[in-house]
Amino acid sequence: MNMTLWQKLDQTGRNLAPCVVTVMLVLAGMVPFYLPDYDRIAPSLALMAVYYWAIHRPDLLRPSAAFAIGLLQDLISGVPLGLNALILVMTHWIVVTQRSFFLASSFLLLWWGFALIALAVAVVQWVACVAVYWAILPAAPVLFQALLTIALFPWFAWLFIRVHRAFLVPG
C-alpha cells in the first residue's frame, strides 16, 4: 500500500501520541497545586504512562524514549541525574518481558501489577537517593507517593485508553 506524503505525516503524528502524552504528564506532574504537602507526594504520572504504553504499544514508546523522558524529568526537577531514567527503563523492561500476561489479564490484574511495580520503584528510588546523598531520607513521603500513584492509576488509564482509541486505532 502506497501512502501519500500527508498520510505519512498523519501516521507519524499519531505514532508520536504515546511519547507526547508521557512528556505532557511529566510537565503536568510538576505544577504546584498549593495544597499542604502535595508537592512531596505528587504522583508519578510518567510511570503510569510508561506502564500503559509498554503493555499496549511498546513499538511506539521504546526503552530509549523512556530513558530520554526520564532524563528530561531529572534535568528539570533537580533529582540526581539518571534516577527517573533508571526507573522508567526498568519499568519498561519488566512490563515488556511480562507483556503476554498483561495483555491477557483483566483491568484489576493490570492495576495489581502496577501496584507491585510502583512499590518496587519507590524502594529503588529511595535506595538510589540514599546512596547518592549518603544520608537517610524520610521514607514516609516516598511510600505515600507510591500509594497516591497507585490510587490514581485507573483515572489515568482511562485517559490513556481514550488517547489510544482516538489516535492509534484505525477506523
| Binding residues vs another protein (CB under 8 A) | 27-42, 44, 63-64, 67, 70-83, 85-86, 89-90, 93, 125, 128-129, 132-133, 135, 137-138, 141-142, 144-145
**Distance of closest approach, residue 163 Cβ to another protein, in angstroms:** 18
**Closer to another protein at the Cβ: 89 or 110?**
89
- Exposure pattern of 106-119 as b/e (b: 16+ CB <10 Å)? eeeebeebbbebbe
Between 18 and 70, CB nearer to another protein: 70
CB of 50 within 8 A of CB of 88?
Answer: yes
- The least CB distance from residue 106 to another protein, in Å, is 28
Q: How far is CA 107 from the centre of its chain?
A: 17
Residue closer to another protein (CB basis): 61 or 86 = 86
Nearer to another protein, 22 or 73 (CB): 73
Give least dist CB 125 to another protein, A.
7
Contact call for residues 87 and 125 (beta carbons, < 8 A)? yes
- Minimum CB separation from another protein for residue 140, in Å? 9
Note the Cα 105 to chain centre separation in Å: 20
> Is 69 in contact with 46 (CB distance < 8 Å)?
yes
Which residues lie closer than 8 Å to 149 by C-beta, 6 or more apart?
A: 43, 44, 45, 47, 48, 118
* Locus of grid cell 499519531: 14
Which of residues 144 and 167 has its CB atom nearest to another protein in the complex?
144
Please report how close the Cβ of residue 147 comes to another protein at its closest, in angstroms.
Answer: 12
